[in-house]
Amino acid sequence: MAVEAPLLRTDVLVIGAGGAGLYAAIEAARRGARVLLLDRSLIGRGGATVMAQMTVAAALGSETEDDWSHHLADTLAAGRGLCDPRLARLLCEEGAEVIREMDEWRTGWARHPDGRIRQVQAPGHDRPRCVYVDFLSTGPAVSRALRARAQREGGIRRMGEVLVTDLVTSGGRVRGAVALDLAHGVPLRMSAGATVIATGGLTRLYRRNSASSNMAGDGYALALRAGAELVDMEFVQFFPIGHLAPRMIGMDPIMWDPFRYKLGGRLLNGAMEEFTDRYGAPDGGRYVVTRDLATYAITREVAAGRGSPSGGAWLSFQHVPEAVLRENFGPVIDRLAANGIDLTRTPVEVAPIAHYHMGGIRVDARMDTGLPGLFAAGEAVGGANGANRLSGNAITEALAFGRVAGREAAALARRDGEGWDEAAAAEALALAGGTGPARPGMNTAALFRRLQDIMADDVGAFRTAEGLARAGQRLQALSAELGEAPPGPPLPHDLARADWFDLRAGLQVAEAVVLAAAARTESRGAHQREDHPGLDPAWGHNQTLALRDGQLRLGRQPVAEAA
């Protein structure tokens, strides 16, 4: 190319500026590392953290006596036997510390008049354990506090609109990355002593999802291609009561979560009957049924022809007086009214929506992937939540794992230093910044939609061998259409080019989910097989995935021993 791509040098490279990436950057910087913090969106705006509506679990004990060991017991129970107990313990133990530190950083956790932090009880927890900011404002408050802290910390170069396309490895070690500067449409080179993947999950691979547009599994694909392993990829969490109808604007689809925490609400089938008790999980107008069971119950009712008109369940607050609704959700009630929704008169329709990925990059308790120079943090990590994640654990995981990854990455970078290898970056640079063949008629956005359809049709909350095989074939056909390089020359803010890289990553990650889901011939947590109902004790181990000679290879490992 005419102009050489800029080479940015840093001790620690952090990919993704959600909760995990921001915390990793802050922790690495306060240990003296120079940090380069990237996000493909704007800093602190993209990712899942900013979308969090409500609860963050931490054993602070401000409502009632609590200890991280109780939080751990609930987390392990929710994970249906597959949690890595070392990671789960880290989440629960360091989680309480990071939530306190976030309080010092003025996140603004809701408080009682006497100054104690408020904690509510979420489904699957044995006591009130979840802190929050305001209803519907937790995520933005967490993002804002972290971004402000990162700005004050010093030593952190923050850079948005940068899409990392490949990690650069040489001598068996990750040396940094190659990226596409989306703002200008030019490639970038980044040399780093240690790299942290904090890109979140994969829920954008599904048609109905609660994620940002940048959560399509790209971090998993980066890790795989560099030589790291993934774990538990078959476990995709569906949030059971994502908004379905009537259509709304300016509201997050998981907005009913706080309504249920505060007011209960009744979950009803198409005949206006309560139904979760038929699946062994009585709800009784309270919010107690775990996500995997509620998703199962709603999906079964719809399959049995007892769904709501749009294909979900009814959520009703009609029994709640308007004054109580107003007292709890004041301005939100007006926003609902602007969308034509009066909760005192009509129920709304809800249905499961792809929400979180339990699987991810395999790491040890130091967030080390085992591939020298590469760490991961947050939702990008697999293992802490096993087959099903407890409500409130995602933000805690992001912050706790981010802190550990930042600490470990800073230490490694100090020990080893940089070692950029230009030759090892050449191929990735040519792909990121080069002009690909013109592909008239190719619509990358439509191709991505097809990927979402494949995953929603056959790799959703309910799976069969036949459906998974069909998904595998359709994914292969889509891969063949994608071609070897992005179409045309790079342009400023080139979404079609970004789509191409998202498809390359998403197709590989989708294949990983399909392979793991097809192999697991039982039903457990978020992985439900219509053709293999019920949990099989013989399946009490984790599945891993690695890329060897361009092929995904499935492996098994026993569940780790407790720390």
Partner 1 sequence: MSVATLSIHRGGPGEAPRRDRFEVPFEAGQSVLDGLRWVRECADPSLAMRYACLNANACKECMMLVDGRVGYACTIRLEAREMRLDPLPNKALLRDLVTAIAPPDERPPEPGA
User: Would you please indicate which residues are annotated as catalytic (active-site) residues?
Assistant: 291
What is the nearest approach in angstroms of partner 1 to the Cβ of residue 253?
Answer: 8
Compare residues 326 and 449 and give the one whose CB is closer to partner 1. Answer: 449
Identify the helix (H) or strand (E) that includes residue 521.
Answer: none
What is the nearest approach in angstroms of partner 1 to the Cβ of residue 186?
Answer: 5
Helix count (H) and strand count (E) of the chain? 13, 19
Which of 145, 130, 164 is closest to 14 using CA atoms? 164
**By CB under 8 A, what part of segment 357-416 binds partner 1?**
none
**By CB under 8 A, what part of segment 16-75 binds partner 1?**
41-43, 45-47, 50-51
Count the residues of the shown chain that bind partner 1, applying the rule CB under 8 A: 50
DSSP conformation letters of 42-80: STTTSTTGGG--S-EE----SSS---HHHHHHHHHHHTT
Tokens for 312, please give them.
């979900």
Q: Is 204 helix (H, G, I), strand (E, B) or coil?
A: helix
CB 136 within 8 A of CB 259: no
Compare residues 86 and 504 and give the one whose CB is closer to partner 1. Answer: 504
**By CB under 8 A, what part of segment 149-168 binds partner 1?**
158-162
CB 161 within 8 A of CB 40: yes
Compare residues 494 and 511 and give the one whose CB is closer to partner 1. Answer: 494
CB 359 within 8 A of CB 234: yes
Which of 16, 40, 45, 5 is closest to 183 using CA atoms? 40
What is the nearest approach in angstroms of partner 1 to the Cβ of residue 361?
Answer: 22
What is the nearest approach in angstroms of partner 1 to the Cβ of residue 98?
Answer: 22
Question: Bridge partners of 542?
Answer: 557
**By CB under 8 A, what part of segment 270-329 binds partner 1?**
none
Compare residues 135 and 296 and give the one whose CB is closer to partner 1. Answer: 135
Q: Is 449 in the site for partner 1 (CB under 8 A)?
A: yes
Tokens for 540, please give them.
């009490």
What is the nearest approach in angstroms of partner 1 to the Cβ of residue 119?
Answer: 24
Binding mask 467-496 for partner 1 (x = CB under 8 A): ------------------------xxxxxx
Q: 337: exposed, middle or buried (C-beta count within 10 Å: 0-12, 13-18, 19+)?
A: exposed
Name the segment binding partner 1 (CB under 8 A); options: 59-67, 78-86, 246-254, 476-484.
246-254
What is the nearest approach in angstroms of partner 1 to the Cβ of residue 542?
Answer: 31
What is the nearest approach in angstroms of partner 1 to the Cβ of residue 208?
Answer: 10
Compare residues 411 and 442 and give the one whose CB is closer to partner 1. Answer: 442
* 145-151-152 Cα angle (round to 5): 90
Compare residues 162 and 371 and give the one whose CB is closer to partner 1. Answer: 162
Which of 75, 60, 123 is closest to 384 using CA atoms? 75
Going 289 to 292 to 295 to 299, the CA torsion angle's sign is negative
Contacting partner 1 (CB under 8 A), which of 292, 499, 502, 511?
A: 499
Contacting partner 1 (CB under 8 A), which of 93, 97, 153, 252?
A: 252
Which of 490, 527, 412, 385 is closest to 81 using CA atoms? 385
CB 308 within 8 A of CB 270: yes
Going 317 to 307 to 258 to 67, the CA torsion angle's sign is positive
* Helix, strand, coil shares, percent, the chain, to 5: 40, 20, 40
Contacting partner 1 (CB under 8 A), which of 113, 154, 172, 250?
A: 250
Compare residues 139 and 386 and give the one whose CB is closer to partner 1. Answer: 139
What is the nearest approach in angstroms of partner 1 to the Cβ of residue 378?
Answer: 16
Binding mask 322-361 for partner 1 (x = CB under 8 A): -----------------x----------------------
Name the segment binding partner 1 (CB under 8 A); options: 54-62, 245-253, 344-352, 501-509.
245-253
The DSSP call for residue 526 is: T
Contacting partner 1 (CB under 8 A), which of 64, 69, 435, 443?
A: 443
Question: Bridge partners of 351?
Answer: 242
What is the nearest approach in angstroms of partner 1 to the Cβ of residue 39?
Answer: 9
**By CB under 8 A, what part of segment 1-20 binds partner 1?**
3, 6, 8
**By CB under 8 A, what part of segment 169-228 binds partner 1?**
181, 183-184, 186, 188, 209, 211-214
Identify the helix (H) or strand (E) that includes residue 336.
Answer: helix 322-338
The DSSP call for residue 477 is: H
Name the site residues for partner 1 (rule: CB under 8 A). 3, 6, 8, 41-43, 45-47, 50-51, 139-140, 158-162, 181, 183-184, 186, 188, 209, 211-214, 246-253, 339, 442-446, 449, 491-496, 499
